[in-house]
Amino acid sequence: MEIQEKKILVTGANGGIGTALVKALLDKGAAKVYAAARSTEAVAGRVSGGAGRVVAVRLDITDEDSVAAAAEQCGDSDLVINNAGVNRCVGLLAPDGMAAARREMAVNFFGTLAVCRAFAPMMAARGSGVIANVCSIIGMVNLPVNGTYCASKAAVHSLIQGLRAELAPKGVRVVGIYPGPVDTRMTAGQEMPKATPEQVAAAIVAGLEGDAEEIFPDPMSQEVHQGLLKDPKQVEREFAQMIPAAATEGPAKSGGGSGKV
Ligand SMILES: NC(=O)c1ccc[n+]([C@@H]2O[C@H](COP(=O)([O-])OP(=O)(O)OC[C@H]3O[C@@H](n4cnc5c(N)ncnc54)[C@H](OP(=O)(O)O)[C@@H]3O)[C@@H](O)[C@H]2O)c1
């Protein structure tokens, strides 16, 4: 799809990848970018310089009224990028694993689904549009230290596949985006190779422009994806080694652990 002259909604626009996406889309000539965040003040400071093409939108994707209001305000979007997400960085058996799983499912799966359900009918009525959901490469294979997050992103991967099938006959395309580690708030304090949000945003925009159905926007995600195509059980076994005892036995963590993707 052409980004030039398009109207585009980006959720989680005050985050690392979200902010970089807003800038990359403006650089490509988007007519309007709806930069959505739970706090519009947080967006305003980051999107100045959009020369009147950036509209700050208040959106909490877990709040039905908020999603409905955003759909009303941004109903002319040609492209919706569901980027908002959370990672509590715990294992499935961690002390706070249930609470983490519920929150991650609430935001990553149910929130994304709610936004898709709000915008899909308007795109279907027009017979065109693109919905692009930011999943994760660890939505395709579980990294146990982030076990609950991976399960929520696996649900997003399934959502992408199902929605793609439902919307294809209506002329609406659904794109899956599967990053590896990116240097944002979500991976703060972790020592591992990470792509920059700007690199990832540029690769996402290039993938959208090339009509890719799935986008692996960084070297790590590309390598893991190739491994999954070749031998998924081998990748699962390798990821299973990355499970520090703290993931299941340690005290509750609110972030900053290892292995967040
Ligand atoms: N960083 C990585 O390594 C990595 C890798 C693969 C995939 N991803 C995915 O990439 C996306 C962007 O993450 P990021 O790395 O840029 O992290 P980030 O800086 O933490 O950004 C996450 C964004 O999601 C927003 N958000 C959280 N809950 C929300 C809700 N209920 N309603 C609306 N917005 C909400 C946050 O807003 P607040 O400021 O209000 O919390 C923030 O803007 C996420 O879906 C993440 O899972 C990240």
Burial class of residue 122 (count of CB atoms within 10 Å of its CB; 0-12, 13-18, 19+) = middle
88 alpha carbon – ligand 1 mean position (Å): 11
For residues 106 and 86, give the distance between their C-alpha atoms in angstroms, rounded to a whole number: 9
Q: Tell me the pLDDT tens digit for each residue of 34-53.
A: 999 999 887 876 666 677 89
Tokens (6 digits) for 217:
């926007």
Q: Provide the pLDDT confidence category of residue 253 given band limits of 50, 70 and 90.
A: very low
Beta-carbon count within 10 A of 42 CB? 16
Tokens (6 digits) for 135:
């999943």
Beta-carbon count within 10 A of 71 CB? 20
Q: Tell which atom from ligand 1 comes closest to the C-alpha of 19.
A: 16
Work out the angle between the directed axes of helices 147-167 and 112-126 (0-180°, nearest 10): 10
The pLDDT value given to residue 245: 55
Q: Tell me the pLDDT tens digit for each residue of 179-204.
A: 999 999 999 988 899 999 999 999 99
Q: Is residue 1 part of a domain?
A: no
Closest of 107, 155, 145, 133 to residue 261, by C-alpha: 145
Mutate to test the pocket of ligand 1, among 38, 143, 150 (most ligand atoms within 8 A of CB): 38
169 alpha carbon – ligand 1 mean position (Å): 31
Q: Is residue 232 part of a domain?
A: yes
Q: Is residue 12 part of a domain?
A: yes
For residues 24 and 1, give the distance between their C-alpha atoms in angstroms, rounded to a whole number: 15
How do 214-215 and 173-177 pair as beta strands?
Answer: parallel
Q: Is residue 228 part of a domain?
A: yes
Q: What is the pLDDT averaged over residues 109-130? A: 98
Q: Is residue 254 part of a domain?
A: no
Q: Does the pLDDT of residue 99 top 90, yes or no?
A: yes
Q: Is the beta carbon of 14 within 6 A of some atom in ligand 1?
A: yes
- % pLDDT > 70, the chain: 91
The pLDDT value given to residue 47: 64
Q: Does the pLDDT of residue 246 top 60, yes or no?
A: no
Active site residues: 149
Largest interatomic CA distance in the chain: 52
Q: Is residue 135 part of a domain?
A: yes
186 alpha carbon – ligand 1 mean position (Å): 7
Q: Is residue 170 part of a domain?
A: yes
155 alpha carbon – ligand 1 mean position (Å): 16
Q: Is the beta carbon of 182 within 6 A of some atom in ligand 1?
A: yes
Mutate to test the pocket of ligand 1, among 182, 187, 191, 216 (most ligand atoms within 8 A of CB): 182
Q: Is the beta carbon of 179 within 6 A of some atom in ligand 1?
A: yes
Check which CATH number belongs to the domain holding 223 and give it: 3.40.50.720
Q: Is the beta carbon of 224 within 6 A of some atom in ligand 1?
A: no
- % pLDDT > 90, the chain: 85
Q: Is residue 116 part of a domain?
A: yes
Range of the domain at 205: 7-249
User: Cα–chain-centroid distance for residue 28?
Assistant: 20
Residue ID of nearest Cα to ligand 1 atom 8:
136
For residues 236 and 135, give the distance between their C-alpha atoms in angstroms, rounded to a whole number: 18
Q: Is the beta carbon of 187 within 6 A of some atom in ligand 1?
A: yes
Number of compact structural domains in the chain: 1
